[in-house]
Amino acid sequence: MPWKMSRRRAITLAGAGVGLGAAGLAGGAALTRDPAPEPVSDVVPFAGPNQAGIVTPAQDRLHFVAFDVITKDRDKLVQMLRDWTAAAARMTAGRDAGEIGAVNGEPEAPPDDTGEALGLPPSSLTITIGFGPSLFQRFGLASQRPAVLEPLPRFTGDTLDAAISGGDIAIQACANDPQVAVHAVRNLARIGMGTVSVRWSQLGFGRTSSTAVGQATPRNLFGFKDGTRNLKAEQTDLLREHLWVQPGDGPDWMTGGSYLVTRKIRMLIETWDRSSLTEQEGIVGRYKGSGAPLGADAEFDEPDFTSVGADGQPLLATTSHVRLAHPDTNQGARMLRRGYNFVDGSDGLGRLNAGLFFIAYQRDPAKAFIPVQRSLAANDEMNEYVRHVSSGIFACPPGLTAPDDYWGRALFA
């Protein structure tokens, strides 16, 4: 009694009907097997002019993975990107990555889907791809490398672990169910066997940023609201200026894309937890409860950098995080952040290995993350409580808009 069904029978065609449609990207053959169901609301369209998973309202869970390309065969790499695209279109639509049962009636073949997401809803899964600087040293891509796509400079205090930094290709899978995000990464890894190898991988929970108007600002593991001034999906003009690569910015294949910076930031939470509320609030520059800037009343009030406390000192210290990270202190620099909290067990020294997996998208890292982080690394009093242990930068191409499009087509064309 071998068995065949698509991952989530009830939502197959609903998923396929969203956006450009999975059928156009993934080949429609399998789509005819299932009856038309009710539309569902937790599918994020895979196709479109920009990749999903950037301005998409931040989902609750993350599985991020960086791959090394282990083949020298350019055609094999391109074929994998085609296969990945088809699988990603299926999975974001709430379907399996491929046949779960016997393939072409051949029960002795391994299933084309690993099965652990069977029966789970689409869970707003997005799968976003980026290409690291190291990829452009091979496959004849040197001339296609954007000038800004360089390994990040060393910042003061960096304690990076090379084994969990960099990578040729990054995949960011976000979903409201971690099992769905893990399933997506795992199936791409399975499809890529022999072509890519997992370099590092990070799970995250508890999104730390809001990326849409009305989405509440969550708290990081310092217990504070952070990223209040994040770019939001609705701010079209700001997104054009600060988020999406514009024509003429660099090679054409990146127009409509964005540069992704990742930083794994270990928080020394035990030390933080021993500092007083006053000290914590002074370091952040916000009240812990309301999230309001010190001296202000509400979270979204503008910080007043001129106000002075009873002691004659600035209420918002020159070393406070909110002041150092503010656009006014950084030539107007803005990024779209969508980081996640992490806890990776313990560190063997009696402490939780916890912190923030920082993720930021931007039009030009040289004008956004790099100068802001330089300033933070040099001055932020919070540095006493954090350690940057991993770093990555990736060029995320635009979205897919043609039926035969696949990840990286314009790059490899």
Window 164 to 193, contacts with a second copy (CB under 8 A)? 164, 177-179, 182, 185-186, 189-190, 193
Tell which one of 20, 26, 87, 203 touches a second copy (CB under 8 A).
203
Q: Do residues 364 and 244 lie in contact, with contact meaning Cβ atoms separated by under 8 Å?
A: no
Q: Give the three-class secondary structure for 200.
A: strand
Tell which one of 17, 57, 157, 206 touches a second copy (CB under 8 A).
206
Least Å from the CB of residue 285 to a second copy: 13
Query: Between 286 and 367, whose beta carbon lies closer to a second copy?
Result: 286
Q: Which 364-393 positions form the footprint of a second copy (CB under 8 A)?
A: none
Tokens standing for 159?
A: 């304690």
d(CA 150, CA 294) in angstroms, rounded, equals 37
Tell which one of 17, 68, 319, 381 touches a second copy (CB under 8 A).
68
Query: Between 14 and 184, whose beta carbon lies closer to a second copy?
Result: 184
Phi-psi domain of 105 (left: phi exceeds 0; alpha: psi -120 through 50; beta: other): left
Tokens standing for 64?
A: 């991020």
Tokens standing for 405?
A: 């499009």
d(CA 347, CA 356) in angstroms, rounded, equals 15
Residue with tokens 């393939």: 103
Query: Between 65 and 335, whose beta carbon lies closer to a second copy?
Result: 65
Least Å from the CB of residue 69 to a second copy: 12
Count residues binding a second copy (CB under 8 A).
Answer: 79
d(CA 11, CA 2) in angstroms, rounded, equals 22
Q: Which 254-283 positions form the footprint of a second copy (CB under 8 A)?
A: 269-270, 273-278, 280
Query: Between 10 and 189, whose beta carbon lies closer to a second copy?
Result: 189
Q: Do residues 22 and 15 lie in contact, with contact meaning Cβ atoms separated by under 8 Å?
A: yes
Tell which one of 39, 49, 151, 289 touches a second copy (CB under 8 A).
289
Query: Between 373 and 391, whose beta carbon lies closer to a second copy?
Result: 391
Beta bridge partners of 261: 360, 393
- Under the criterion CB under 8 A, does residue 290 sit at the interface with a second copy? yes
Tell which one of 36, 109, 298, 308 touches a second copy (CB under 8 A).
109
Tell which one of 129, 221, 317, 410 touches a second copy (CB under 8 A).
221
Q: Which 31-50 positions form the footprint of a second copy (CB under 8 A)?
A: none
Least Å from the CB of residue 119 to a second copy: 7
Q: Do residues 118 and 99 lie in contact, with contact meaning Cβ atoms separated by under 8 Å?
A: no
d(CA 145, CA 134) in angstroms, rounded, equals 10
- Under the criterion CB under 8 A, does residue 111 sit at the interface with a second copy? yes
* Cα 358 to the center of its chain, rounded Å: 9
- How wide is the angle at C-alpha 253 spanned by C-alphas 247 and 257, nearest 5°? 70
- Under the criterion CB under 8 A, does residue 28 sit at the interface with a second copy? no
